[in-house]
Structure 1
Amino acid sequence: MTIGIGFVILIAVLALALGLVAGFFLARNSMKNYLAKNPPISEEMMKSMMMSMGQKPSQKKLNQMMAQMKQQSAQSQKK
């Protein structure tokens, strides 16, 4: 009952490949969830960006822009 060294190496390579693929998809899914819950641009960032462009942002306009960003994010995740 001897197992050849080639068989052991084959199993090790297959296990490594399976682990890499599973790890990739797990990391991708967790990053998508993190970005959905914590968007990279906050209202304060958007407000300062608008002020630097010479606009006086109102709260209503900020809320509209944040809603648009959330809607675009939801649409891109459906694809």
Structure 2
Amino acid sequence: MLMWYWIVLIALGTLVAGVALGFFIARKYMMSYLKKNPPINEQMLRTLMMQMGQKPSQKKINQMMRAMNQQMDK
């Protein structure tokens, strides 16, 4: 009877460890993917600003891209 409890305890322990390990691996993969392939680029930002009625200057676009990259690094 004591053997049955050990089997259940080991099964639950490995399940919890697998879920935690899978979460951290998926998180690291997604962060590196988003760093390599940012969801927004300069052309998208320029189009977005023009749709909002602003005349985008290159200086303002560079400033916004720099701020977004700093936010991604944190």
TM-score when scaled to structure 2? Answer: 0.79
Q: How far 1:15 moved relative to its partner?
A: 0.6
What residue ranges of structure 1 are gaps of 5+ in the alignment?
none
Q: How far 1:57 moved relative to its partner?
A: 1.8
Distance 1:63 1:73 in 2: 15
Please, what is the CA RMSD of the aligned residues? 1.8
What residue ranges of structure 2 are gaps of 5+ in the alignment?
none
Q: Which residue of 2 aligns with 1:43?
A: 42
Q: How far 1:28 moved relative to its partner?
A: 1.2
Q: How far 1:22 moved relative to its partner?
A: 0.8
Higher normalized contact order (CA 8 Å, seq sep 6+, divided by chain length): 2
Q: How far 1:18 moved relative to its partner?
A: 0.6
Q: Which residue of 1 aligns with 2:6?
A: 7
Percent of pairs identical after alignment?
A: 52
Q: Which residue of 2 aligns with 1:52?
A: 51
Distance 2:4 2:32 in 1: 42
Distance 1:8 1:46 in 2: 56
Q: Which residue of 2 aligns with 1:68?
A: 67
TM-score when scaled to structure 1? Answer: 0.75
